[in-house]
Amino acid sequence: MDLFISLIALIILLPVLVIIALLVKINFGGAVIFKQARPGLNGKIFTIYKFRTMSDAKDEHGEWLPDSERLTRFGRLLRSTSLDELPELINILVGDMSIVGPRPLLVEYLPLYNDHQSRRHQSRPGLTGFAQVNGRNTIGWEEKFNLDVQYIDNISFVGDLKIIFLTVKKVFVREGINSETYATVEKFKGSSKGSIGL
């Protein structure tokens, strides 16, 4: 199902992908695709693909400027419509991701998870997920991880269809894109090894 949907979506959306790629090139120059290592099924590392939404702006010391300053108006538009996520269809096509599953987070978070949170890697990461239709970036990390594990414990075809439907709805109303205090999302700093945040 993942293979079929991603292949059909890539074919249908090819003109959209080309247009977005051109706009990204015009707005940012340089590379069009943002690539980053992310943990997938069982923590196996893969390279995720997204359209760039941030500039390469640095300070006088050569350090990256804060996300709030690098995230341009055009980048915010891509994020709010989730169009920056479309290249992840390639990740789904090659088997690194699924349409639905816990979102792939940063590799640096791996040693910070407790046993409960680590269970989110028992399925392939998804283009969308249960946490994304229940708050996305407006909920805390503990709640987000609990939703991820809840999804894994209750995976079903009907459940995935419901998540896909709710995702489309939330994309159109642009809910939960950013946290209230951060331009993108606050970094996870770890929690008690024995805590499951319930």
Identify the residue with better confidence: 174 or 104: 104
pLDDT at 125 over 80: yes
pLDDT at 3 over 80: yes
- The tokens for 123 are 């399925």
13 DSSP β-pair partners: none
Q: Which of 26-30, 60-64, 165-169 has the lowest mean pLDDT?
A: 60-64
Q: What percent of the chain has pLDDT over 90?
A: 67
pLDDT of residue 184: 58
pLDDT of residue 62: 74
Q: Residue 71, Cα to own-chain centre: how many angstroms?
A: 16
SS (H, E, C) 45-70: EEEEEEECCECCCECCCCCECCHHHH
pLDDT of residue 178: 52
pLDDT of residue 173: 75
- Helices 73-80 and 2-28 meet at what angle, rounded to 10? 170
**What is the pLDDT averaged over residues 69-81?**
88
pLDDT at 36 over 90: yes
User: What's the pLDDT tens digit per position in 5-14?
Assistant: 999 999 999 9
User: What's the pLDDT tens digit per position in 144-188?
Assistant: 999 999 999 999 999 999 999 999 888 877 665 554 444 557 889
Burial 159-184 (b: 16+ CB within 10 A, else e): ebeebbebbeebbeeebbbbeeeebb
Q: What span, in angstroms and rounded, lies between the C-alpha atoms of 80 and 136?
A: 12
pLDDT tier at 124 (50, 70, 90 boundaries)?
A: very high
pLDDT at 138 over 90: no
pLDDT at 197 over 70: no
pLDDT at 198 over 60: no
Q: Which of 68-72, 116-120, 173-177, 178-182 has the lowest mean pLDDT?
A: 178-182
pLDDT of residue 181: 45
pLDDT of residue 155: 95
